[in-house]
Structures are given as C-alpha cells and as structure tokens.
Structure 1
Amino acid sequence: MSFPDRIERTMELRQPVETVWAAITTAEGLGTWFGNTAEVDLRVGGEAKLAWTSGDTATLVIERVEPPTVFAYTWPIHGLPDGDPRRTYVEFTLVPTGTGTTLTVVESGFAQTSGETHKTAFSGNVEGWQSELGELVAYLDGRL
C-alpha cells in the first residue's frame, strides 16, 4: 500500500520577495507567525529552534539557504518518539511576481512511516500548514 509522501501549498503574497524571505528566515519572523519564540542560525547545518507557549518545541536543521529564493530544513515527524532519526524535508521557494511573491511550500518524507503513525503525522501537518500559512499571511499583512 502506498502512503502520501508530500504536502504542497502555493500562494500569492502581496509583499516583495525580500519581505517574505525575512518572515521565513529570521527569529523575529518565525517567532511571530510559526512559533511564539525562535532562535535562528541561518546557515546550512545551522538550527532554528522554535517554542510555543504550550510548552512544545521544535528544532529545525537548516539544509538549504539561497537568499532570497530558497530556504529548506528538516524536522522530526510528529508522533514519532524523541530521537527517532526519521525527519521530513520542508522547502520554501519564493518567486518574485509583478505584484509580490509566489510562495511554494513543500514538505516531503511522510512515506517513511505507515499505518496510524503516517495518518496522524500527514493529516496533522496538512492542517498545520493551512493554519501556519494563514498566520504567515496575517504576519505579512501586519495583523500579528
């Protein structure tokens, strides 16, 4: 049986590429729309550490940094035990348009899991990206 491996979302944003880049790669940006606080070491092999007021945390390992068009990281698969080496790969691609930026977010690697673990991780992240990208838009529009 085959399990879905990737989530992909594309959206048109009114802001220029440089503004969107700052929102997805800086502690101020990530700590506002993606988490409640963030620390970012923006380099390949660096980490971004996110924390939420709920007590949840996430450590992203930065895999690609091509300012201002590609930012990618890996992070743990939700529902797996701490220390499990399986991770998904998340890539943000920014393309300037005449009126702003086309942002594409792709998260892949869910096929490393199966059964209930896959269902929980995949569906949770589908819902999560819908919510988080809505918060990104609110942040960029100055509503957060």
Structure 2
Amino acid sequence: MLAHIEKVESGYRATYERHLNHPVEEVWSYLTDNEKLPKWFSELRVDELRKGGVIKFDMGDGTFDELSILELKINSVFEFSWWADTVRFELSQESGGSSLRLIENIHTITDHTPKDLAGWHVCLDVIEALLDGRAIERKEEWKIWYERYGNEIEKVTLQ
C-alpha cells in the first residue's frame, strides 16, 4: 500500500502504515539495533540511542553525516532528522502483532523525493520480510515503487 502523501502547513507529510505479525520489541530491534539495522538500511548506524543522540549515515566516500535523534521512547517512538526533513517511526501493540507507522515530514519536494519515498517503502517491506524469514528483491521492488511515488508526488503538488 502506498504511503498517504499530503500537503501540510510546514510542507508535505508521507505516512506509511503496516501491520506486522510480530511483537513490538522484535520490530523495534530492527529499527535501533546495529546488528539488525544494516540488514534493511546498510548506510545507517545508531551511535547514541537516546533523545539528542546521533545516527550516522555512511555517505559511501569515507565520510558520515550525523542525524540527530529528536524523540525516543523505547519500543514506541523513534524520530530523527533526515537532513532538512524528519523521519518518525511509531510502534504500538496490536492483536496478533504490532502496528508500524513511518512518517516523513518533507520540507520541500525535490527530484529526489520520489526516490526517498520509494526507498522508505521498500525498507518497510524488507523489515517485514526479515521478520517473516523471507527475502525480497530490493532493486526491482524499488523501481516499481519509484514510478508510483513519482505519480503520487505529481498529484499532491498539483493540488
């Protein structure tokens, strides 16, 4: 399911919703544990898991950008800066598993925005597959979602 993308006062907001057949603690470990994090987002490493802490993004050229952890509630909320934007994961227990919501607050739509949106979509698919003991072909999935998010961004920006 596509993220819901909307125009808001501060720019745009993309909200992804997933029900996972796994407990909150297990899902949380994929978001914050440096042993599991690279399995779905190889460039990210949590340096200091605390509000005001740091996530490092490997730029692939030997340098790292530091992203600030803006809010942290263990097994519930993990929000960090994403350069000019923010990314927020919200987890809650549900019958038979958990609810995972990812919210990206986007300051300005750029040519890169559909790439990021497709990337987050596939990241969530990969987390779910890992939890389920499955594998997915990331590049092929990304291509499909990139086109769809490009179309969605066009719709939202034309409103």
TM-score (norm 2): 0.69
| Partner Cα separation in structure 2 for residue 66 and residue 120 of structure 1 | 33
| Partner Cα separation in structure 1 for residue 47 and residue 133 of structure 2 | 22
Q: CA deviation at 1:126?
A: 1.5
In structure 1, list runs of 5 or more residues that go unmatched. 77-86
Contact 1:92 1:103 in 2 (8 A): yes
Contact 2:18 2:99 in 1 (8 A): yes
Cα displacement string for residues 8-67 of structure 1 (whole angstroms, at most 9, x for unaligned residues) = 100000110011111101112222211156243101111112437787855321111111
TM-score (norm 1): 0.75
Aligned residues: 127
Q: CA deviation at 1:75?
A: 1.7
| Partner Cα separation in structure 2 for residue 133 and residue 141 of structure 1 | 12
* CA-atom RMSD in angstroms: 2.5
Q: 2:126 aligns with which of 121, 127, 135?
A: 135
Could you tell me the percent identity over the aligned residues?
30
Of structures 1 and 2, the one scoring higher in RCO (CA 8 A, sep 6+) is 1
Structure 1 runs of 4+ aligned residues shifted over 3 Å read: 50-59
Secondary structure (helix, strand or coil) at the match of 2:127 reads helix
Higher mean displacement: 134-143 or 22-31 = 134-143
Higher mean displacement: 53-62 or 101-110 = 53-62
Residues 37 and 92 from structure 1, CA distance in 2 versus in 1: closer, same or farther, beyond 3 angstroms?
A: closer
Higher mean displacement: 42-51 or 94-103 = 42-51
1:46 has 2:49 as partner: no
Equivalent in the alignment of 2:23: 16
